[in-house]
Amino acid sequence: MIDRPQIIDISPARTTAVVRVCCPREELSCTMGRGVRELLDRIKIQGAQTTGPLFMHHLRGPTDSFDCEVGVAVDHPVHPSGHVHPGQWPAMRVAHALYRGRYEYLPQAWAALRAWIALQGLVSTGEQWECYITGPEIGSDASAWRTELYLPLCGAGA
């Protein structure tokens, strides 16, 4: 499910462009798809280059709905345009793990990472960051899909 978790420091902060996504769980795939298309189109129009893979920043743990930002690191700040806004992946101390598999099983991967940090006596801030390294764009074999999971830790600056 997940590789052995680690505590790591992410530094420095990264400049990002993001689209806010608030929707019911069953609408996430379609809503996120539209957001990603707009994000990438508007970044290109502004002459910015992506400098990393797509990510999702959950502002709260998902329930029957999602409140998150879909984004990507960029080489220079973007200007607000449509639903796209400048953002930042902050410097932070996190519990990190690599998940291999289908997106449908991400909730179980997150639960495993949360259980691991509890065993370490640590507490997360409640935010979650997912970074999509490889996914369906490389083929239908989900065992090759890779998603990095990041749980920022309370009281732990980078």
- Reduced to 3 states (helix: H, G, I; strand: E, B; else coil), residue 41 is helix
> Whole-number mean pLDDT of the chain?
92
pLDDT in tens, 12-45: 999 999 999 988 888 878 888 899 999 999 999 9
| pLDDT score for 156 | 53
Q: Is residue 1 part of a domain?
A: no
Out of 7-21, 48-62, 88-102, 112-126, pick the least confident. 48-62
Q: Is residue 107 part of a domain?
A: yes
Supply 30's token pair.
């379609």
Q: Is residue 50 part of a domain?
A: yes
CATH of the domain at 80: 3.20.80.10
pLDDT in tens, 110-157: 999 999 999 999 999 989 999 999 988 888 888 899 999 999 999 755
Question: In 3D, which of 73, 83, 49 has the Cα closest to residue 129?
Answer: 73
- Reduced to 3 states (helix: H, G, I; strand: E, B; else coil), residue 64 is coil
Q: Is residue 158 part of a domain?
A: no
Q: Is residue 137 part of a domain?
A: yes
Q: Is residue 147 part of a domain?
A: yes
Cβ-contact 89, 17 below 8 angstroms: no
- For residue 156, the number of C-alpha atoms closer than 13 Å in the C-beta half-sphere is 18
| pLDDT score for 139 | 85
Burial class (CB in 10 A: 0-12, 13-18, 19+), 7: middle
CA 130 to chain centroid, in Å, comes to 3
Angle at 28 (CA atoms; ends 27, 31), nearest 5 degrees: 80
Where in the sequence is the domain holding 30, given as residue range(s)?
6-152
What is the average per-residue pLDDT within 95-114? Answer: 95
Q: Is residue 22 part of a domain?
A: yes
| pLDDT score for 30 | 83
The total number of structural domains that make up the chain: 1
